[in-house]
Structure formats: C-alpha cells, structure tokens
Amino acid sequence: MAAAMALSSGLFYSCTESGAEGKTLPILGEREAVEREVGGKTVVDTVYHQIPDFAFVDQDSQQVTQNTVAGKVYVTDFFFTSCPTICPKMKSQMLRVYEKYKDNPNVLLLSHSIDPQHDTVAVLHDYAERLHITSDKWHLLTGEKDSIYDIASKYLVPAQEDGDQAGGGFTHGGHFILVDGQRHIRGVYDGTEAASVDQLIQDIPVLLNEKQDGQK
C-alpha cells in the first residue's frame, strides 16, 4: 500500500520536474483519441481525463458541486475523522496549504470523508471548528457512500472499507490531488510528506498563472 503510493508518486514527480519559470504541469490520467469528420477530413481530438459532475454536502450543510469549483484551482483528498493512522498527518499538511492560500479566493480545498455514515455534517462541523478552518475555503465533504468511493477512483485515489479495526476500518491513499479549473488532474502529491506538499504549494501558482493567461 505505502510502497505502491511511493512508486506512483515517484512516477508523477519525474513528469513534473522542471524549472520554476515558464513551468507547466501535465494533465494526468488516461486520455482518449477521438476521431471526428470535419468537412470530409478526419480530425483527431485528444480527450483528457476529467473529474465528472458531483454533489456533496460540507460541514456547514452547503451543497458543494462542480459549480463550486468551476474555474478555480482546488486540492482534494480522502480521509475520515476517526482515522488513527495517516489522516492527522495529512490534515496538518493540508493546513499548510490552507494557511498559504487562505486569502486567495481562486484556491479551494475539498476533503472527502470515506466514512460518511459516521462523518455526518455535525461531526464534520465539530472537526472543522477544532481545526479552526472555515468552509468558504476548506470544504469537509460527506454524502452518498457509493458516490464518494466512485469519485475517489476518478481522482485516482485508492479507497476501500476493509474492516481492519487497527486501521480504523478503512484504507485509503494519502494523496493530495491538484485539480485545475476544467477539473483535470494536474498533480499528485504525498499528503504525509512535507517535501511533497512543498512541491504542491509551489505548483499551485503555475495553475493560477495559466488561468490568468487564459483570460487574456
């Protein structure tokens, strides 16, 4: 599990390493070549992996959907509040991202609970209060269990219920996923490693600049 994560993050790092100036981030995930006819000629379009529409509820009972994140850069992860293993570490690292981009309305954070039965809005509300975070920036999400596990796979994050008491009953990757305004995955980071999260914090402006360029 940990080894698989190290391997996958290693793979992703090798693709994203480059200088800070003029840096771009790849679009990750499977892509499809789709052929279409234009004026009798065949044109091939590349269709990139995109996060599908979604609808969850956050710690303040607000609906959070694809419209909430439209045109914004967001970082997402999967956790559960009673997790005794990697989650606290992930949350302490996500707090670094939160503090860094607290005042930038173009950056959002979405943390999905993979134990929605236990992690109700009330539980998430208490958790957020104790973390001293606000829901206009960092949404702690709950919802239909199947929808959450389904979207985890779309973010390429492994998540499953395993019933192992020592681990809290669930297994999930400690990944932080960086997503752009078109819901394309642009980076995968190890949310338990400070150095990897440093990289994430440096990569966010690359997408923010991209967005500005696009508006010109």
Partner 1 sequence: MMGLLLLTTLTQCFTDKQNEGQRLYVANCQSCHMEDGTGLRGLIPPIAGADYLQQHRQELPCLMRHGIEGTMVVNGQEYNKAMPGVESLGTDQITNLLNYIQTNFGNKNERYTLQEVGQLLEPCPPHQH
DSSP class of residue 114 equals S
- Provide DSSP, 9-73: HHHHHHHH---STT---PPPS-EEEEEEEETTEEEEEEEE--PPP-EEE-TTS-EEEHHHHTTSE
Binding mask 106-145 for partner 1 (x = CB under 8 A): ---------------------x-xxxx-------------
Q: Give the nearest distance from C-beta 173 to partner 1 in angstroms.
A: 15
Residue number with CB closer to partner 1 (85 or 182): 85
Torsions phi, psi for 165 (to 5 deg): -60, -40
Cα–Cα distances in angstroms (integers) from residue 173 to residues 3, 4, 139, 158, 184, in the given order: 11, 9, 19, 5, 19
Q: Give the nearest distance from C-beta 37 to partner 1 in angstroms.
A: 56
Q: Give the nearest distance from C-beta 134 to partner 1 in angstroms.
A: 13
Torsions phi, psi for 206 (to 5 deg): -60, -45
Residue number with CB closer to partner 1 (71 or 84): 84
- Between residue 38 and residue 97, which ones bind partner 1 under the rule CB under 8 A? 82, 84-86, 88-89, 91-92, 95
By rule CB under 8 A, what count of residues binds partner 1?
A: 15
Residue number with CB closer to partner 1 (41 or 130): 130
Residue number with CB closer to partner 1 (69 or 94): 94
Q: Give the nearest distance from C-beta 88 to partner 1 in angstroms.
A: 4
Cα–Cα distances in angstroms (integers) from residue 133 to residues 145, 178, 183, in the given order: 24, 20, 24
Q: Give the nearest distance from C-beta 102 to partner 1 in angstroms.
A: 14
Q: Give the nearest distance from C-beta 23 to partner 1 in angstroms.
A: 30
Residue 168 CA to residue 162 CA, distance in Å, equals 9
Residue 63 CA to residue 61 CA, distance in Å, equals 7
- Between residue 164 and residue 203, which ones bind partner 1 under the rule CB under 8 A? 166
Residue number with CB closer to partner 1 (12 or 98): 98
Closest residue by Cα to residue 115 from 159, 158, 64: 159
Residues in contact with partner 1 by CB under 8 A are: 82, 84-86, 88-89, 91-92, 95, 127, 129-132, 166
